[in-house]
Every structure is written in C-alpha cells, then in structure tokens.
C-alpha cells in the first residue's frame, strides 16, 4: 500500500519538487536580470539588452541549476540540502545559529 507516500512532496523534474523548481527559477531570473541589466547598461547604455539576454538564457541557466541541485540531493535524506545551506550560511556568519553547533571531535573523558 502506498498511502504513506501521499504526504510527501512528489518530485517532478530530476528529483526536484515544484516548490524547489519555482524557487530556483525565481532566483535565477532575479539575479540574472539584475546582473545582465547592469552590465549592458554600463557597456552599451541600454538595460533592455540585459532583459532580452535574460529571456533568451533563462531556461538554460535554470536547467543547469536544477542539475546541480539534483547532484546535491541524490542519495541524501529529505531536507539534506536545506540543512547544508543553513550550515554554510552560519559558517560564513551571514545568519545567526539558533542552536549550539560544534565542528570537530567530541571527547567524553573527564577533565581534572
């Protein structure tokens, strides 16, 4: 019986759920629009050239990002990449940790 599978988010494309695909697509579109618009504004004086380049390359760059996300998620438990991303942001001091984290070996011996 597959009733326990009903509550899980189903993968749609390369082990990515619809929410992940929309998030990746939105981030690619926003970042690509800003970067290309600024570059073409500085080089040619028109930011609309950057927008046109964004619409042309949006699908291909999103597909590359989803391929990388698939490689991160392959064979890992659900939510692994989110935990990995939060851990990296904490290491870079971009966000504050809500929990005590420890890197390295733990020792259980008593100190005198």
pLDDT of 56-99, one tens digit each? 999 999 999 988 888 878 888 777 878 888 888 888 888 887 77
* pLDDT attached to residue 9: 65
Confirm whether 102 is domain-assigned.
no
Confirm whether 54 is domain-assigned.
yes
Q: Which two tokens stand for residue 61?
A: 């760059």
* DSSP state letter for 33: H
- pLDDT band (50, 70, 90) for residue 49: very high
Instruction: Determine whether 50 is exposed, middle or buried from the number of CB atoms within 10 Å of its CB (0-12, 13-18, 19+).
Output: buried
CA distances from 25 to 2, 51, 69, 71 (A): 31, 15, 12, 17
Q: Which two tokens stand for residue 38?
A: 């600024």
> What pTM, to 2 d.p., does this model score?
0.67
* pLDDT attached to residue 69: 85
Report how many domains make up the chain.
1
* pLDDT attached to residue 38: 95
Confirm whether 108 is domain-assigned.
no
pLDDT of 17-28, one tens digit each? 888 889 999 999
Domain limits for position 39: 10-91
Confirm whether 17 is domain-assigned.
yes
In sequence order, the β-bridge partners of residue 13 are 16
Is residue 39 over pLDDT 80?
A: yes
């Amino acid at each position: 019986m597959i009733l326990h599978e009903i509550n899980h988010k189903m993968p749609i494309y390369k082990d990515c759920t619809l929410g992940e695909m929309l998030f990746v697509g939105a981030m690619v579109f926003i970042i690509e629009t800003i970067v290309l618009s600024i570059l073409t504004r500085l080089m040619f004086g028109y930011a609309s050239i950057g927008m046109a380049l964004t619409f042309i390359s949006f699908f291909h760059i999103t597909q590359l990002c989803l391929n990388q996300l698939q490689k991160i998620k392959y064979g890992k438990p659900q939510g692994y990449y989110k935990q990995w991303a939060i851990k990296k942001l904490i290491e870079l001091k971009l966000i504050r940790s809500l929990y005590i984290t420890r890197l390295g070996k733990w020792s259980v011996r008593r100190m005198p």
